[in-house]
Structure 1
Amino acid sequence: MKTVAFVPIKLNNERTPGKNTKRFYDGTPMIQCILKSLVQVRGLDEIYVFCSKDEIKEYLIDGVKFMKRPEYLDTSEATPQDIIKEFMKLVDADIYMVSHATSPFVSVKHFEECIETVKSKKYDSAFTGEKIQRLLWTSLNTPLNFDPTNVPRTQDLDPIYDEVSAAYVFPKETFVKYNRRIGINPHIVEVSGVEAVDIDYPEDFEIADALYKEIINKKQN
């Protein structure tokens, strides 16, 4: 089964301009973190960066191809479904993995678990997610996942999973059938701690940069 990964990149991010190519303390662009992981993943036949700007080419590494996308996908009206549909028109595959540069620390083994579970056909999709067992409230000031008259221990709460955008893996037929990257029988690959870091805002990047520095220092010692 031909399996293709692609990293959608928009250079004009609204919340954190230029975040995908923003450099960590040692000069490494953030996008290269996930690319360096993807080229190590077993089971991938091709890896692409899907971007409307040719400038992104200078950030690519060996083993990663560039695929140019229409500029309308950079607008706030474009949805993840729009991006996936456009990529599928350009690159045919049996299984696709969408990975986002804003989750730079997910391990190779968790990417591989996503792919392997979909290839097994036991699940119609897989994605990385962070397990949450906390007392949560809605914006209407009502408890979301517990009875306030009988507050449980947090470890006894039913887990809720927050999507971590490092990996969404799905067969072509799942997307065609449901028009979404997660089907009706997904496998959640649990990530936590550093792996669950997702960068949306400038302060998120500052935290990620500190974590990146710690990771590099540990590797060097």
Structure 2
Amino acid sequence: MKANSQRVKGKNFRPLHGKPLFRWILDSLLAIDEIDCVVINTDARHILEENGLVESDRVKIRDRKAELIGDTVSMNLILADDIANVPADTYLMTHTTNPMLRAKTIGDALGEYQAAVAAGTADSLFTVNKIQTRFYRADSSPVNHDPDNLIQTQDLEPWYEENSNLYIFTAESFAKTKARIGKQPMLYEMDKMEAVDIDTPEDWALAEAVAAILSRADKKVTA
């Protein structure tokens, strides 16, 4: 969790539909009993404190090393530092910028990952968006379809976009690739509205709209 952001200034602490952005994913993670500890790797401990967040029995705040601070530092290097200093059977990684990611989705993904590991069919998991549409290269040549045979898009071969919402892995799988995605990953498909990842002002506006829609839906359910 960085203090500064390039395209949306101070986004990690900026209020989104009534609460700071970082609280959205933190609340979802803390709602899952299977998660023993949430580790926040940050250069902004003071800003977290200003927003009422300090360490507790389930929240550990790690001050990011100086050599790991910067917009061009690979997240895998930060994860390697966390793994070296926080031993765990399973690591689950997400971002402050994934506010719509629900506790149920995280729990379901964790369950499917654990089942796949037990069956020997996967060593890691990452979330994706399923896409079925017509793609073209820059020279206008088709990538995944025949323009002279326009079949329905729902009948096209599905492609899967890594949506940066959730990664699950072990220290062992990480060691093999030096990355959060192991040698034998499984894809976990997400609802696109839930998979909002805030990188730009347009993403922020979309997250605000989705949060408003979900808030109205929750009020109808509880009414």
Distance 1:159-1:208 versus aligned 2 partners, 3 A rule = same
Give the C-alpha shift of residue 70 in structure 1. Answer: 1.1
**Residues 47-196 of structure 1 aligned to structure 2 (within 5 Å):** 47-58=38-49, 59=51, 60=53, 63-120=58-115, 121=117, 122-196=121-195
Point out where structure 2 has 5 or more consecutive residues left out of the alignment: none
Amino acid at match of 2:83: M
- The normalised TM-score by structure 1 is 0.88
Contact 2:94/2:166 (<8 A) preserved:
yes
Match of 2:210 in 1: 211
Contact 1:117/1:123 (<8 A) preserved:
no
Distance 1:103-1:79 versus aligned 2 partners, 3 A rule = same
2:22 equivalent to 1:23: no
DSSP-derived class of the 1:33 partner: helix
Superposed CA deviations along residues 69-97 of structure 1, whole A, max 9, x for unmatched, are 11332313311211111111221112111
- The normalised TM-score by structure 2 is 0.87
DSSP-derived class of the 1:114 partner: helix
Amino acid at match of 2:153: T
Contact 1:117/1:126 (<8 A) preserved:
no
Point out where structure 1 has 5 or more consecutive residues left out of the alignment: 1-8
DSSP-derived class of the 1:193 partner: coil
CA distance in 2, matches of 1:57, 1:20: 10
Contact 1:164/1:196 (<8 A) preserved:
yes
Give the C-alpha shift of residue 193 in structure 1. Answer: 3.2
Give the C-alpha shift of residue 23 in structure 1. Answer: 0.6
CA distance in 2, matches of 1:116, 1:42: 12
Q: Show structure 1 runs of 4+ deviating over 4 A.
A: none
Contact 2:91/2:170 (<8 A) preserved:
yes
Task: Give the structure with higher Rg (CA).
Answer: 2
Residues paired across the two proteins, number:
212
Q: Alignment RMSD, CA only?
A: 1.8
